[in-house]
Structure 1
Amino acid sequence: MPEVYNIGVDIVDRHASDPNKLALIFEDEDGRVTRYTFAQVKEASDKLAMGLRGLGVERGDRVGILLPQSPETAIAHAAIYKLGAIALPLFTLFGPDALEYRLSDSGARAIITDPTQLPKLMDVRKALPDLRAIIVTGNHAPAGVHAFDDLLAAAHGRFTPVRTVADDPALIIYTSGTTGNPKGALHAHRVLLGHLPGVELPHEFFPQPDDLFWTPADWAWIGGLIDGLLPAWHHGVPVLAHRPRKFDPEQAFALMARHQVRNTFLPPTALKLMRQVSEPRARFDYKLRSIGSGGETLGGEILAWGRETFGFDINEFYGQTECNLVLANCAGLMNVRPGSMGRAVPGHTVSIINDEGDVLPDGEHGHIAVRRPDPVMFLNYWNNPQATTEKFIGDWLLTGDLGRRDADGYFWYLGRTDDVITSGGYRIGPAEVEDCLLKHKAVAMAAVVGSPDAARTEVVKAFVVLAGDVQPSDALAAEIQHHVKTQLAAHEYPREIEFVSELPMTTTGKIIRRVLRQREIERKGVPQS
Structure 2
Amino acid sequence: MKGLPNVGGTVGRIVATAQNGLEVIRMGGLDTGTEPTPYKVVETEKMYRLRRYFPDDPGDGYAHIILIPPMMVSANVYDVTQQNGAVSVLYRHKVIPWVVDFGSPDHEEGGMERTLTDHVVAISRVIDLVRSVVGRDVHLGGYSQGGMFAYQTAAYRRSEGLASVVTFGSPVDVLAALPLGLPAQLVVPGAEFVADNVFNRLWIPSWLARTGFQLADPVKTARSRIDFLRKLHDRDALLPREDQRRFIEQEGWVAWSGPAVAELLRQFVVHNRMMSGGFVIDGEVVSMTEITCPVLAFVGETDDIGQPLAVRGIVRAAPDADVYETAAPVGHFGLVVGSSAGRLTWPTVGEWIQWREGNGEQPAAVTPMSRVRNESGSGISWSNRLTYGVGQVAGAGTAVSKELLEAVSSLQRTTLAVATESVRTVPRLFRLGQIQPSTRVSLGKLMSENAKRTPHDELFLFEDRVLTHTQVNTRIDNVVAGLIECGIRPGVHVGLMMEPRPSALVTVAALSRLGAVAVLMSSSESLPEMLTMAETRVIVADPVHLDRAAAACDRVLVLGGGSGETRAIERADGEHIVDMEQIDPARVRLPVWYRPDPGLAGDLAFILFTETQGRINRWSITNHRFAMSAFGAAAAAGLSNRDTVYCLPPLHHASGLLTTLGATAAGRSRIALSTGFDPDRFSREVRRYGVTVVSYTWNMLADILDDPGFDPGQLGSVRLFMGSGLSAGQWTGLREKLPSARVLEFFATADGSAILANVDDTKIGSMGRPLPETNPVRIAAYDPATGRMEVDNDTGLVREAGPREIGMLVSHAGQRFEAAGLVLRDVFRPHDRWEVGGSLFRADADGDLWFMGSVQSVIHSAGGSMYPVPIQQALSMIPDVKLAAVYSVGEVGSQVAVAVVTLRQGVTSLTPTQIRVGLGELPAEQRPHLVWIADSIPLSEAFRLMTGKIAARGMPKPGSKIWYRDAEGRYRRYTASAAAAIDWTVPGSAGTAADGDAARA
- Common topology (TM > 0.5): yes
Task: Quote how far apart the aligned CAs of 1:166 are.
Answer: 0.7
Aligned AA (1:110):
V
Cα 1:490–1:148 shift into 2, 3 Å: farther
1:272 to 669, 683, 702: 702
**Which residue is equivalent to 1:182?**
616
Task: Quote how far apart the aligned CAs of 1:15 are.
Answer: 1.9
2:445 to 3, 10, 31: 10
1:498 to 940, 953, 967: 953
Aligned AA (1:234):
A
1:303 to 732, 742, 747: 732
1:340-375 deviation line (CA, Å, top 9, x unaligned):
221232223121112144322333221122221269
CA contact (8 A) 1:202 1:290 kept: no
**Which residue is equivalent to 1:346?**
772
Task: Quote how far apart the aligned CAs of 1:115 are.
Answer: 2.1
1:38 equivalenced with 2:469 (yes/no): yes
**Which residue is equivalent to 2:499?**
68
| 2:949 alignment partner, SS class | coil
Cα 1:389–1:451 shift into 2, 3 Å: farther
Cα 1:339–1:4 shift into 2, 3 Å: closer
1:237-270 deviation line (CA, Å, top 9, x unaligned):
11011151xx423432222122111112233523
CA contact (8 A) 1:135 1:146 kept: yes
**Which residue is equivalent to 1:124?**
552
2:758 to 329, 335, 346: 329
* Alpha-carbon distance in structure 2 between the residues aligned to 1:107 and 1:268: 28
| 1:182 alignment partner, SS class | strand
1:362 equivalenced with 2:362 (yes/no): no
CA contact (8 A) 1:60 1:85 kept: yes
Cα 1:214–1:187 shift into 2, 3 Å: same
* Alpha-carbon distance in structure 2 between the residues aligned to 1:116 and 1:10: 29
2:461 to 25, 45, 68: 25
Cα 1:408–1:48 shift into 2, 3 Å: same
* Alpha-carbon distance in structure 2 between the residues aligned to 1:418 and 1:396: 20
- Correspondence list, 1:119-268, <5 A: 119-125=547-553, 132-138=555-561, 140-142=569-571, 143=573, 144=575, 145-153=577-585, 155-156=587-588, 160-178=595-613, 182-196=616-630, 198-200=632-634, 202-203=636-637, 205-207=638-640, 209-244=641-676, 247-268=677-698
What is the alpha-carbon root mean square deviation over aligned residues? 4.3
**Which residue is equivalent to 1:100?**
528
* Alpha-carbon distance in structure 2 between the residues aligned to 1:392 and 1:410: 25
- Is 146-155 or 301-310 further displaced after alignment? 301-310
Larger radius of gyration: 2
- Is 137-146 or 228-237 further displaced after alignment? 137-146
- Percent identity between matched residues is 18
TM-score (norm 1): 0.71
Cα 1:221–1:449 shift into 2, 3 Å: farther
Cα 1:455–1:119 shift into 2, 3 Å: same
Task: Quote how far apart the aligned CAs of 1:496 are.
Answer: 7.2
TM-score (norm 2): 0.39
CA contact (8 A) 2:823 2:834 kept: no
**Which residue is equivalent to 2:927?**
none
Gap regions ≥5 residues in structure 2: 1-434, 782-788, 791-797, 859-867, 877-882, 888-894, 905-936, 957-983, 992-997
1:414 equivalenced with 2:855 (yes/no): no
CA contact (8 A) 1:23 1:37 kept: yes
1:380 equivalenced with 2:811 (yes/no): no
Aligned AA (1:89):
L
* Alpha-carbon distance in structure 2 between the residues aligned to 1:103 and 1:490: 23
Cα 1:22–1:352 shift into 2, 3 Å: same
* Alpha-carbon distance in structure 1 between the residues aligned to 2:642 and 2:900: 40
1:375-413 deviation line (CA, Å, top 9, x unaligned):
9x96426xxxxxx46999773233323222123221122
CA contact (8 A) 2:540 2:557 kept: yes
Structure with the bigger percentage of strand:
1
* Alpha-carbon distance in structure 1 between the residues aligned to 2:540 and 2:597: 20
CA contact (8 A) 1:48 1:155 kept: no
Aligned AA (1:371):
H
1:452 equivalenced with 2:885 (yes/no): no
| 1:323 alignment partner, SS class | coil
Aligned AA (2:654):
I
1:47-85 deviation line (CA, Å, top 9, x unaligned):
222222222222211011110101111111111111111
**Which residue is equivalent to 2:842?**
404
Aligned AA (1:54):
E
| 2:508 alignment partner, SS class | helix
Gap regions ≥5 residues in structure 1: 28-32, 126-130, 382-387, 431-446, 457-480, 502-514
* Alpha-carbon distance in structure 1 between the residues aligned to 2:547 and 2:479: 23
Structure with the bigger percentage of helix:
2
Task: Quote how far apart the aligned CAs of 1:105 are.
Answer: 2.8
CA contact (8 A) 2:825 2:833 kept: no
**Which residue is equivalent to 2:58?**
none
* Alpha-carbon distance in structure 2 between the residues aligned to 1:360 and 1:66: 41
1:488-527 deviation line (CA, Å, top 9, x unaligned):
x9968835763789xxxxxxxxxxxxx89x99x99xx9xx
Task: Quote how far apart the aligned CAs of 1:272 are.
Answer: 3.4
Cα 1:492–1:107 shift into 2, 3 Å: farther
* Alpha-carbon distance in structure 2 between the residues aligned to 1:402 and 1:496: 21
Task: Quote how far apart the aligned CAs of 1:322 are.
Answer: 1.6
**Which residue is equivalent to 1:91?**
522
CA contact (8 A) 1:318 1:328 kept: yes
* Alpha-carbon distance in structure 1 between the residues aligned to 2:896 and 2:474: 47
Aligned AA (1:46):
D
| 1:16 alignment partner, SS class | helix
CA contact (8 A) 1:360 1:366 kept: yes
Cα 1:252–1:146 shift into 2, 3 Å: same
Task: Quote how far apart the aligned CAs of 1:24 are.
Answer: 0.7
* Alpha-carbon distance in structure 1 between the residues aligned to 2:940 and 2:724: 25
Aligned AA (1:66):
M
